[in-house]
Structure 1
């Protein structure tokens, strides 16, 4: 797979990364660890070098399931890959709500405890890219960035970033310790963060879209009759998977199918290629539990869309009827 630099940071990763959350969290009960370990090894073999996790991707019984999985599975390849993990968030598992509300905590002492725990679970002496999982309104961005600068000096992390950040937060944090990447929700159905692109380009920051396939809808593998396990699979409550939403999204799905046919590709590959061809510093991180999807997503990096084709897609998306799309869970202070 082709490689890309995240902004102007000097950090190079595979053009498509692997979001590993769904192996342990939010997409049904955790997958079999042996099978996922084999899948992660195969990912390295076919060219993935960028793996995304977080200290909170797990279950109420084991909230660190995903980091532990990656630590064991990727240890043999550690010098060939980039691991991104996150701090500053926990789930309110006692709320009785699914998805669980989010509780932020980016106090310096909490960050220090988090980084030590992640280093141990990932079985490594450094974290390549360490994200603030969500902005904590109780802790100034400058203070968080100061802790990141210290962790970089100590060699515990090499780069840092923020997830779901705004321009103000990015600028304030970046002025203290340069940010390598911003990881925000982004897909053909969720384009509001395109307003950040000029800022990211100005500051030399990479953009890492999570949920780049709108939680899988843009893979065109689901129908109005698709069902998901309530309680463990968040798609059961996502608006784009309601039966009536497939009628609302008929034109969108028709667009990606038509483009896929023209480019001898799949709808998922078109959805990923569309964002890859927008900026050279965009690196999406779709997730999967299946080798066939792993291969399919990687193939998106070989699809070329011209600037005019991207503009035409954007123009169509601007006026297209779509259903609501999942925008994330509520944050509690």
Structure 2
């Protein structure tokens, strides 16, 4: 077979595949039209906005624009790495995210497993409503509630005084920032996060539980050997996503909870970017810090996904 004939024979299957894909798109164009708004959103506001990353490598001057501003390379990154705040920001951000992951990630799984074993439907729905409700409280209202409960004359300090103790300045002592942040996050999001696991548990075949009962397994053994393996792929995916987002801890609540006295533990990268970028108008420096934060997230996401894929066979890609 000549080279020309070989290339022609290879091109024919590719043409058939392309024509088949085009035919499939035309036959289902209504579905693709439904996807179009979402695709445009991501293209414009996510991928298109990445053009602005250039200011991290420039000395951005608004009157000159992005392309007209002078190029400075990695100057802003070096300034951030050499800053006296660098290690404090890394320690605060990673410490807060890691503690939130350690204490917050297993609880929705435990709640879902317990609710799945609840046989009384009426009480089960009541409990679900109670633990889901905090998710719909806005961050501003949540922090306001925390100030009411944990302020110097708040409910918690009044109880401490009644029990013979001294009032605790929760919002001015740096060591209390992380417990308050993590505890309020667990209270607000645990019930809502359990919905995904409850949906996964709803897909478990009853025949598996019947077989386990026939073999003499009790409830704990059925949870351990039937329910947990069934939701493991879902848990792995959510764990990978959580680790990949570990540096993007919530800005709003951290910023609202900050006081001048708790900044040694309350200042994290997102709040630092806001203060330097918007309040101090250091746009290029703030963009460099934000880009560094995003790169760390990407590395963590890729690493954890590869480890999870190798250990459990489940991953994002």
TM-score over 0.5 for the pair: no
TM bucket normalised to smaller? under 0.3
TM-score of the aligned structures, taking structure 1 as reference length: 0.21
TM-score of the aligned structures, taking structure 2 as reference length: 0.22
Please say which structure displays the higher CA radius of gyration. Answer: 2
More strand by share: 1
